[in-house]
Structure 1
Amino acid sequence: MTTTKKAAPPSERRADLIRLAAELFAEKGFQATSVREIAKAAGILSGSLYHHFDSKESIGDEILREFIDDVLGAYREAVAGTDSPRVAIERMVRSSTAALSRHRAALTMLQNDWAYISTLPRFAYLRTATREIERTWISQLERGKQSGVFRADLDARLTYRLLRDILWIPTSWKQGRGKSWSTDEIVNGLLRLLFVGISTP
């Protein structure tokens, strides 16, 4: 008696296609990846892909929306749950690292293809979201200055850009000889550097 392997449920199949596409977009670039390549990686015909998505842009949209919604949701929660700028900043650092570890492919897409993706009307929300992210960081840094928690001469915009560029990189640094720092160790190290510094009291 032979058995036929059941096809994956539509929602599961769709999620699998998104995952495969995200990997290709991260590896080759969003603009350079074709629908045919995505279909080939999934083991289906190009036409079959259109049963799930109307275009390559719709796949990219799902990948990036989930990422941005995750980041923004965590930031809003971090700010709403405390009156302390320092606590809010710490929560944002930790939530950023957690979100980026869940959405590495989406982050790579944004880093490598921002110049192209940001020009597409379908992705106009990305500029709105990045402006909100920047405002959230800068407002907390400015609140800290005004309350005396942070230095009065702190350049909030520059500090945000420095933190953003540190956070938006893969957190899988190697120490050497097969050892690597854990995500928590990296985050704790960044927070110590940010709030304590490297100079002795």
Structure 2
Amino acid sequence: MPTKNKPTAASRPERRPELLAIAAQVFAAQGYDATTMRGIADEAGMLAGSLYHHFDSKESMADEILSTFLTGLRAACGAVLDAGLGPRDTLEALVTASFRHIGRNRAAAAIYRTEGEHLATRPGFPHLAGARPVFEEALSRTLERGVADGVFRRDLDTRLTCRFVRDAVWGTASWQEPGTGPDSGYLARGYLALLLDGLTPRT
């Protein structure tokens, strides 16, 4: 009786998340345009032809990496907004959740931060086209609510503040490799202390 062919190590379905993680590191380090399927395959220790058993193109790999990252960020921000907290607590929770999500997905965050906007205009990125700036929208709503409620200063420029906070949080994606620097909780606490309490000593 003939035996069925066993799947090779290269074709096992469970390798898909591992290959996406490797691809994310390559995209982040080399840039999307400079990255090739052969380069990703080399990093994964496999032939380029074997990589095509899992993904039909580098576009599909990058799109899946970024769409998965954005889905997770959307869920994290949504959970904070649904918690019914006051504006200040919501701001703290949004910043903390974003630091945590970026820290866990540093390569994907770096790709999105540096290349997401122009990749969204290219064919092959259906999940990026029209994607909303999830963190910015949640942050803007929270700042506006805080001003209206008197929790934040009445003269606060919420649009400018939103951009400052967004860039400060997202900038940490390129600071260091995971596990080689301060964890996301430490970063969030330090940034929130600076944002909410300032630099000058209290009298």
TM-score (norm 1): 0.85
The structure-2 alpha-carbon separation of the partners of 1:173 and 1:27, relative to structure 1 and needing over 3 Å to count, comes to closer
**Which 4+ residue blocks in structure 1 deviate beyond 4 angstroms?**
171-174, 179-182
Counterpart Cα distance in 1 of 2:166 and 2:44: 34
Percent identity for Structure 1 against Structure 2: 40
Q: Tell whether 2:8 aligns with 1:20.
A: no
Q: Which of 38, 46, 49 is equivalent to 1:47?
A: 49
Q: Which of 53, 77, 91 is equivalent to 1:89?
A: 91
Native 8 Å contact 1:25 1:33 kept in 2? yes
Q: Which residue of 2 aligns with 1:151?
A: 153
Q: Aligned residue pairs: how many? A: 194
After TM superposition, the structure 1 stretch with the greater mean CA deviation from structure 2, 110-119 or 157-166, is 110-119
Q: Which of 162, 165, 168 is equivalent to 1:166?
A: 168
Consecutive unaligned residues of structure 1, counting only runs of 5 or more, are 1-5
Counterpart Cα distance in 1 of 2:163 and 2:147: 17
3-state SS of paired residue (1:123): coil
Q: Which of 113, 116, 119 is equivalent to 1:117?
A: 119
Residues 71-86 of structure 1 aligned to structure 2 (within 5 Å): 71-86=73-88
Tell me how far 1:190 sits from its aligned partner.
1.4
Counterpart Cα distance in 1 of 2:103 and 2:49: 32
Native 8 Å contact 2:11 2:50 kept in 1? no
Native 8 Å contact 2:140 2:162 kept in 1? yes
The structure-2 alpha-carbon separation of the partners of 1:185 and 1:44, relative to structure 1 and needing over 3 Å to count, comes to closer
Native 8 Å contact 1:24 1:38 kept in 2? yes
Counterpart Cα distance in 2 of 1:124 and 1:111: 18
- The one-letter code matched in structure 1 to 2:191 is L
Native 8 Å contact 2:77 2:134 kept in 1? no
